[in-house]
Structure 1
Amino acid sequence: MDISIIITGIIALLAGIGLGKILFAKNTRKKIEEADLQSQQMLSEAQLRAETIKKEKILEAKEKFVQLKAEYDKEVLERNRKINDGENRIKQKEISINQKEGLLDKQIKENEVIKENLNRQLEVVAQKRTQLEKHQEEHIKRLEKIAGLTAEEAKTQLIESLKQEAQTQALQLQQEVIEEARQKANKEARKIIIQSIQRTAAEQTIENTVTIFNLESDEIKGQIIGREGRNIRTIEAATGVDLIVDDTPEAIVLSSFDPLRREIARLSLQRLVADGRIHPARIEEVVEKTRKQLEEQVMEIGERTVIELGIHGLHKELVRIVGKMRFRSSYGQNLLMHSREVANLCATMAAELGLSPKLAKRAGLLHDIGKVPDEETELSHALLGAKLAEKYGENAAVVNAIGAHHDEMEMQYIISPIVQSCDAISGARPGARREIMQQYLQRIKDLETLAMGYTGVEKAYAIQAGRELRVIVESEKITDSDSDKLSFEIAQKIQNEMTYPGQIKITVIREKRAINVAR
């Protein structure tokens, strides 16, 4: 019973499975049919869409073609228009050229006619010129016959006369201009110099170097001389100064070419006399101390001088030389006082001229440093001073001013003539320098006599206190080249035969004077 039921169930199950397969197959077939139908529909729709797109593209292509064609036609029309315009312009140019050619042909014909007329006129002019030349030749011959001169000679004489007249007028005009400029320059220079002198108050221009040592009594002379003269010999050996003990009451004369040595001897004697112990050992000790103290004093004087004048940055060696100038005099004029005065004058004059007062003052203070050398040299004091200033780093303008203040160097800066002028002002003041009158007069006379001894010399004058000798010669006997030679010979003879301070400038003047009297 049970088995049959099981079998019956199995059969029913199998039947149900078969039926399910049949139903699944039917459903699958139905779905396939539906899919085929959908695909056909989609294909047809795609074909329709493709046809639509195709038609649209064809329409767009046609429109583009039409547009391009229209643009092409427009360009073609524009080109044709331009070509037509160009052809028209060319035709117009051809027409104008043809017209111009006609005008040119007409002008050429007219010019040929004018040329023929000119040629005929030129022929007439040439004939007239030939006739004029003949008449001129005849006229010149008549003039030459009357004047007794050829045409060239008369022309030469006329040119020479005109040339001489022009030269005379030019010389007169030149002389007038030079004289006017000289007057104005002299007036302005005097004004500046007077203002500089008025604004500068010199404390002291003259200070005689002390050469006499005063004593309280003549008894001290014996102590100074010492036993058998040993003390005085020791002093002379230590200081380099000659002591002259004579009958002059209460005085001993100190003699030496070096003023610094005289000052050392004077101060040493003063200390020895005050101390009372005068013997060789003490003398040497006092002289050595005095020498060192004097060196310190020299530096102190130099430093005080540059401070008072407001000069900065001066080399220590130059400061020492400035201090040494305190113990040096020139023609009785103290060198330091003279240099300070020149420095102040230079500063004032430079300020008047709108230049640097500091630089001018520096050059004025240092202009005579060559007069106090540490070693003997053959150079003049101006050149030696310039060398020292250059050695110790001074400005080139200062160096040139020092070397050129006696015209021994060429002046290259504007302060050089200022220093020269101020040096002359300080030294030329009344009473600034002293010289024995007889010696001065004799030296002036000797200078003029020496120059008059040469052949061809008409006059000779010593001017500027004997610093310049002007020699006037006869123009018929002395030529220009002989004047140069004469100036050199006189300078050499003065240098070899005469003794004089400073330097002497020899100026030979030769002039030709043509004098006529109008009556």
Structure 2
Amino acid sequence: MDITVIIAAIAGLAVGVGIGTVIFKAGLKKKGSAIITEAEKEAESIKKDKILQAKEKFLELKSEHEAQIAKREAKMQERHDKLKSRERSASQMLEQNKRKEKDVDRLKQQLERKLEANERKEKDLERMHRQQVEQLEVISGLSGEDAKAQLMEALREEAKTEAAASIANTIEEAKLTANQEAKKIVIQTIQRTATEQAIENAVSVFNIENDDVKGRIIGREGRNIRALEAATGVEIIVDDTPEAIILSCFDPVRREIARLSMHKLVTDGRIHPARIEEVVSKTSKQIEEEIAEIGKRTAIDLGIHGLHPELIRMVGRMKYRSSYGQNLLQHSREVANMCAVMASELGLNPKLAKRAGLLHDIGKVPSEETDLPHAILGMQMAEKYGEKPDVCNAIGAHHDEIEMKSLISPIIQVCDAISGARPGARRQVAESYIQRLKELEDLAMSFRGVEKAYAIHAGRELRVIVGSEKVGDADASQISFDITQKIQNEMTYPGQVKVTVIRETRAVNVAK
């Protein structure tokens, strides 16, 4: 019973499932048809919209294309108009060129006619000139070549005389102008430079309070004085001079070391050979330090920077050197200042000139003995310690040992001569002074026609008297020039020498 019910239930369930499936499929099919229909309608609507959009885009592109075409056509029309305008302008220019060519041809024909007329006139003039020359030759009895030679000779002599006079006038004017300018610059330079004059010699005097100190300095059997002389290299003269001891040496540095050492020994009171060596050694170091300090201070005072330490030391040693009685450091400072002023007046570099002026005599304070001239030695030192070529050349050329290669070199030479030639700056030996005057007079007497020669104004002027029957006025000017050239080439002198040639004609008669 139960199984039958179960089977019946299962069968009913199966039938229900089948009927439900059929009904579901039928509904699903109806829904699918509706969806498809709706999709077709929507697709048709979308298609119509796309077609409308495509038509609108096509119309828009078409209008843009037509606008571009119209714009291009307008540009082409504008270019066409410009080309037509240029063609018209070219045509007008061609017509103008044709008219100008015609005018040029006409002018050319006129010029050719004028040239032909001028040639005919020239031929006529040449024919007339030949006829006149032939007539002149017949009248004068001279050929054309002879007359030309005489005329040229006369013109040559006249030109020579006029040229000599013109040259003399030009030289005088140039000398006057140059002398005025040179004197102005030199005077301004000297006035703006003021240094003390210092005359030094080869001895120093050590003052003492009483003569008892002399015995202590001499020592037992002269031991102390011998030790001092050996340590300092200075000759110590102890004589009857009251309250003074003489220190004699050509080296001022050694004299200064000896003077300071003796001052320390006398002040301390302990004077014996061991103490003397100790004091001299300390004093020597002190002097070396002082020399370096003097060099630095000098460079700072003059505004010179970048000097090598060895050059600074040489500048300091100049304080203890003299040149013809003139203190070398003061001389170098003076030359440096004058060089700077003169270089500024001439538009050159004043710092470079001042540097060369300070260093121009460093060859006089070498640490080692040498037989080279001080100018060449100084130049070599400057090159060794990295100075500029212009400075080195100025140092080496300030006494004409080498050729001057820069504008600063003659300034150094001139300022060196000015500093040394000042009255009282240096001592001059009377014999050398007289010898220089005699050489000037002998040099003038060596010229033809010179009768007498006198060196005056301390050798700054030379007056030459020539014979009027042997020397003409033009020759006198030439002799003056030749004498000055010979003095420049053969003699060494400070400043300048003025040469005056005097020629006079005297007519003397005696009434009886």
TM-score category, normalised to shorter length: 0.5 to 0.7
- Say if 1:454 and 1:421 are closer, same or farther in 2 by CA, change over 3 A: closer
Instruction: Supply the RMSD in Å over aligned alpha carbons.
Output: 4.4
Could you tell me how far apart the structure 2 residues matched to 1:412 and 1:386 are? 13
**What is the match of residue 209 of structure 2?**
216
Could you tell me how far apart the structure 1 residues matched to 2:257 and 2:267 are? 15
**What is the match of residue 347 of structure 1?**
340
Q: CA deviation at 1:223?
A: 2.1
Deviations 1:361-418 (A, max 9, x none): 1111111111212222222222222221122111111112222222333222222222
**What is the match of residue 143 of structure 1?**
140
**What is the match of residue 70 of structure 1?**
none
**What is the match of residue 197 of structure 1?**
190
Whether contact under 8 Å (1:472, 1:509) holds in the other structure is no
Q: CA deviation at 1:333?
A: 1.9
Whether contact under 8 Å (1:452, 1:460) holds in the other structure is yes
**What is the match of residue 87 of structure 1?**
none
For structure 2, which runs of at least 5 residues remain unmatched after alignment? Answer: 1-112, 472-477, 507-512
Could you tell me how far apart the structure 2 residues matched to 1:167 and 1:511 are? 23
**What is the match of residue 351 of structure 2?**
358
Q: List aligned pairs for 1:109-258, cutoff 5 A.
A: 140-144=137-141, 151-202=144-195, 204-206=196-198, 208=200, 211-258=204-251
Whether contact under 8 Å (1:231, 1:279) holds in the other structure is yes
Amino acid in the other structure paired with 1:315: H
- Say if 1:137 and 1:487 are closer, same or farther in 2 by CA, change over 3 A: closer
Could you tell me how far apart the structure 1 residues matched to 2:438 and 2:228 are? 41
Could you tell me how far apart the structure 1 residues matched to 2:274 and 2:445 are? 60
- Say if 1:472 and 1:417 are closer, same or farther in 2 by CA, change over 3 A: farther
Say which of 305, 317, 322 aligns to 1:324.
317
- Say if 1:392 and 1:468 are closer, same or farther in 2 by CA, change over 3 A: farther
Whether contact under 8 Å (2:236, 2:246) holds in the other structure is yes
**What is the match of residue 402 of structure 1?**
395
**What is the match of residue 412 of structure 1?**
405
Amino acid in the other structure paired with 2:233: G
Whether contact under 8 Å (2:463, 2:502) holds in the other structure is no
Q: List aligned pairs for 1:425-436, cutoff 5 A.
A: 425-435=418-428
Task: Tell me the SS of whatever aligns to 2:159.
Answer: helix
Amino acid in the other structure paired with 1:342: V
Could you tell me how far apart the structure 2 residues matched to 1:310 and 1:208 are? 27
Q: List aligned pairs for 1:273-288, cutoff 5 A.
A: 273-288=266-281
- Say if 1:289 and 1:158 are closer, same or farther in 2 by CA, change over 3 A: same
Q: CA deviation at 1:325?
A: 0.3
- Say if 1:473 and 1:180 are closer, same or farther in 2 by CA, change over 3 A: closer
Amino acid in the other structure paired with 1:159: M
Deviations 1:259-297 (A, max 9, x none): 111111211222222222222222222222211211111
Q: List aligned pairs for 1:265-276, cutoff 5 A.
A: 265-276=258-269
Whether contact under 8 Å (2:335, 2:357) holds in the other structure is yes
Asked if 1:424 is matched to 2:424, the reply is no
Amino acid in the other structure paired with 1:354: G
**What TM-score do you get using the length of structure 2 for normalisation?**
0.62
- Say if 1:195 and 1:211 are closer, same or farther in 2 by CA, change over 3 A: same
- Say if 1:448 and 1:349 are closer, same or farther in 2 by CA, change over 3 A: closer
Whether contact under 8 Å (2:247, 2:255) holds in the other structure is yes
Could you tell me how far apart the structure 2 residues matched to 1:333 and 1:426 are? 10
Q: CA deviation at 1:138?
A: 7.0
Could you tell me how far apart the structure 1 residues matched to 2:443 and 2:493 are? 13
Could you tell me how far apart the structure 1 residues matched to 2:138 and 2:172 are? 50
Whether contact under 8 Å (1:472, 1:510) holds in the other structure is no
Whether contact under 8 Å (1:339, 1:367) holds in the other structure is yes
Q: List aligned pairs for 1:472-483, cutoff 5 A.
A: none
Amino acid in the other structure paired with 1:264: I
**What is the match of residue 79 of structure 1?**
none
Whether contact under 8 Å (1:370, 1:382) holds in the other structure is yes
- State percent identity of aligned pairs: 59
Amino acid in the other structure paired with 2:198: I
Whether contact under 8 Å (1:451, 1:460) holds in the other structure is no
Amino acid in the other structure paired with 2:186: I
Could you tell me how far apart the structure 1 residues matched to 2:464 and 2:366 are? 35
**What TM-score do you get using the length of structure 1 for normalisation?**
0.61
Whether contact under 8 Å (1:243, 1:254) holds in the other structure is yes
Q: CA deviation at 1:318?
A: 0.6
Matched residue pairs, number? 375
Could you tell me how far apart the structure 1 residues matched to 2:497 and 2:178 are? 24
- Say if 1:460 and 1:289 are closer, same or farther in 2 by CA, change over 3 A: farther
Q: CA deviation at 1:334?
A: 1.2
Say which of 308, 320, 323 aligns to 1:315.
308
Could you tell me how far apart the structure 2 residues matched to 1:379 and 1:464 are? 35
Could you tell me how far apart the structure 2 residues matched to 1:261 and 1:173 are? 62
